[in-house]
Chain A
Amino acid sequence: MLRELKNKVFVIYLILSAFLVILPLFHILFSVFANGIPVLLKYGLAFLTETLPAPNRGGGIFPAIYGTFMMVFLASLMGIPLAVLAGIFVAEYPNNALSRATRSLLLIMLEFPTILVGLFVMAILVMPIGSFSALAGAFALMIVMLPYVATYTEQAMRSVPAQYKEGAYALGLRKVRVVFSITLKIAKKGVITGLLIGMAKVSGETAPLIFTAGNAWRSTGGVLEPVGAIPLWIYYLVQQPYTNYHEIAWGAALVLMLFFLAVFLPIRLSMVRT
């Protein structure tokens, strides 16, 4: 009897814990939609094309969108070749000490506090140059992105069946050709998944940008000038006392969330099918 009762309580606990995990997610999604959609409707298309208003005026988040796209683009430009090559190294030479160390390092980098990356880049780029810049922000994002892309590349390369590689070697191809023309081509889908996950991840990062990108409310500067970013804007705007700034923060949160879901959901759903 007591065993039965304990079992019942246990099953209830399992159901309850599932509920407790899912509830906050739906509440967050719901809150962002419920608070963000009215803002987008109220401000209209100008929300995406105008700059930050004075308190209690209408305006938009264009400098933030501009900065996010620019820095994610620059970070990808610098980081993707590096990360893919590092992933190739770990996948192609799996059994030496350096590869094992690299794999551990990438796993540690995945979990590394991103605020420290921001502080580091500030010390090596912002302080010598003497100004915040999109370049410094992009460099910080690159470091955050690197382990994601590298690990996905490694896993995709390893999942390629050995027969293809053996066939290529049997034809007398050199290692470079085998890796780039055969293995990487077959592993393409996995690598691209890694790139997209990495880009989606860093487009939502705030902490690495606080001391590097600097932020800009009304200007859309060049590579060596401070720029805004959507997450950065949200971070600063919620700390302001003005109601319309809070509205803009919610609108920006909706834009950021839709962007993230648009990249992440198709990738995740395509994994279910395979």
Chain B
Amino acid sequence: MDQFKIFLLPVVGLVFGIIILMLLVFTLNSIPIFQHEGVAIYTTNIWKASEVSEEEFYGILSAIYGTIYTSTIAITISLPISIGLAVFVADLMPRRLKELLIIPTDIMAGLPTILYGIWGVFVLVPTLAEIMKFIHGHFSFIPLFSYYNPTGFSYLSAGVLLAIMVTPFATSLIREAYVAIPNIYREAVYSLGLTRFEATKVLLSYIKPAIIAGTLLAFGRAVGETVAVSLVIGNAFNIDASLFAPGYTISSLIANQFGNAFAYKLMPSALFSAGLALFTIGLIVNIAGLIVLKRWGYA
């Protein structure tokens, strides 16, 4: 081993150390709440803060539910559009003009998330509220649209905003895989006399792993997003099937409740255990996405 490598090792150790310390901090700080109520922290929807620590009881099920619900909405909206844009840029745009669409999506991917947040509060939510009132007025018998008197601050608004935020990321991943398909395959497909639709269907099946990875990583991003979501989701301890109902996500719960958590004995620990759940979900989704990418040689 050369000296230079020995000199660099502590630096790499430090990077690993930060992550390990992080996991340790979340685990250790979660212990008091686990001792107090066990797994009920993850399986019940109760939020009882109290000056008397014996009466405190916290369950973050509504936040876990909201996180998965909003991220699923986001992916459902984002995936078809991401694939559509990827194919559009790769196949339909003239080579010189491709950048005209790629640069805006790159800007979107890097734009500070708080800008999505302020736009979400003042533009998206009021617009969606009108649409929601209309749909609720006519179709409230369908459970998805059943929430009484929608204000706009809801799972749907958070889901739509997240879809807008994760699409640039998903589409660039899918596009890169799509343009990397060897030309002989394209030529072969078109030589069969297939239409563009039929040919694209075949070609897309060839990059299925990239699409799966894109979906997983986009889901991971949606799960971790905090400020934009917490501004539009309504922040209510709610488990409701309706798209129009307000709710919580794990990250918005943490952002919202930590300010007053230290007035109570167990609330900080409850929020650290919420962080631990987010940590685990994020880690599993992202590692799964990276494994799919690696196995198929995209990363």
Interface, chain A (partner B; CB < 8 A): 3-4, 6-7, 9-11, 13-18, 20-22, 24-28, 31-32, 35, 82, 85-86, 88-89, 92-93, 98, 101-102, 104-109, 111-117, 119-120, 123-124, 143, 146, 150, 174-176, 179, 197, 200-201, 203-207, 210-211, 231, 234-235, 238-239, 246, 249-250, 253, 256-257, 260-261, 264-265, 268-269, 272
| B258 part of interface (Cβ distance < 8 Å) | yes
Binary contact readout B3-39 vs A (1 if CB under 8 angstroms, 0 otherwise)? 1110111011011101101100110010000000000
Q: Which residues of B contact A124 (CB under 8 A)?
A: 21, 25
Among B101, B103, B197, max chain A CB count under 10 A is at B197
Among A17, A124, A143, max chain B CB count under 10 A is at A17
CB–CB B113/A204 < 8 A: yes
Given known contacts A18-B89, A27-B119, A32-B119, is B278 in contact with A113 (CB within 8 Å)? yes
CB–CB B88/A113 < 8 A: no
Q: What is the bound-complex CA distance between A27 and B200, given in angstroms?
A: 30
A-B contact count (CB 8 A): 235
| B286 part of interface (Cβ distance < 8 Å) | yes
Closest Cβ of chain B: how far from A147's Cβ, in Å? 9
5 sampled A-B residue pairs with Cβ under 8 A: A7-B198, A28-B119, A88-B8, A113-B224, A114-B224
Q: What is the bound-complex CA distance between A117 and B123, given in angstroms?
A: 29
Further 15 A-B residue pairs, CB within 8 A, beyond A98-B12, A205-B113: A6-B197, A7-B196, A7-B197, A10-B200, A17-B83, A20-B81, A21-B168, A88-B8, A111-B217, A176-B4, A204-B112, A207-B255, A231-B114, A260-B110, A260-B112
Q: What is the bound-complex CA distance between A272 and B102, given in angstroms?
A: 10
Query: Which label, helix, strand, loop or mixed, suits the secondary structure of the B interface?
Result: helix
Q: What is the bound-complex CA distance between A6 and B148, given in angstroms?
A: 40
CB–CB B115/A28 < 8 A: yes
Closest Cβ of chain B: how far from A14's Cβ, in Å? 4
Given known contacts A13-B84, A234-B114, A238-B122, is B197 in contact with A21 (CB within 8 Å)? no
Tally of contact residues, B, Cβ under 8 A = 85
Q: Which residues of A contact B105 (CB under 8 A)?
A: 21-22, 25
Binary contact readout B264-299 vs A (1 if CB under 8 angstroms, 0 otherwise)? 000000011001001100110011011000000001
Q: Which residues of A contact B29 (CB under 8 A)?
A: 123
In the complex, chain B residues 240-254 whose Cβ is within 8 Å of any chain A Cβ: 251, 254
Given known contacts A204-B112, A264-B107, is B221 in contact with A111 (CB within 8 Å)? yes
Q: Identify the closest chain A residue to B91 (Cβ).
A: A14
| B111 part of interface (Cβ distance < 8 Å) | yes
Q: Which residues of B contact A250 (CB under 8 A)?
A: 118, 122
Q: Which residues of A contact B123 (CB under 8 A)?
A: 27, 31
Binary contact readout B115-151 vs A (1 if CB under 8 angstroms, 0 otherwise)? 1111101110000000000000000000000000000
Residue among A104, A123, A253 making CB contact with B290, cutoff 8 Å:
A104
CB–CB B110/A201 < 8 A: yes
Q: Which residues of A contact B286 (CB under 8 A)?
A: 107-108, 111-112
Residue among B110, B115, B217, B289 making CB contact with A256, cutoff 8 Å:
B115
Closest Cβ of chain A: how far from B17's Cβ, in Å? 11
| B99 part of interface (Cβ distance < 8 Å) | yes
CB–CB B258/A210 < 8 A: yes
Q: Identify the closest chain B residue to A89 (Cβ).
A: B8
Q: Which residues of A contact B55 (CB under 8 A)?
A: none
In the complex, chain B residues 140-177 whose Cβ is within 8 Å of any chain A Cβ: 164, 167-168, 171
CB–CB B84/A249 < 8 A: no
Q: What is the bound-complex CA distance between A14 and B197, given in angstroms?
A: 10
CB–CB B107/A113 < 8 A: no
Given known contacts A115-B224, A234-B114, A268-B107, is B26 in contact with A120 (CB within 8 Å)? yes
Q: What is the bound-complex CA distance between A113 and B286, given in angstroms?
A: 11
CB–CB A238/B117 < 8 A: yes
Closest Cβ of chain A: how far from B223's Cβ, in Å? 7
Q: What is the bound-complex CA distance between A11 and B87, given in angstroms?
A: 10
Q: Which residues of B contact A179 (CB under 8 A)?
A: 4
Q: What is the bound-complex CA distance between A35 and B118, given in angstroms?
A: 11
Q: What is the bound-complex CA distance between A25 and B111, given in angstroms?
A: 10
CB–CB A116/B278 < 8 A: yes
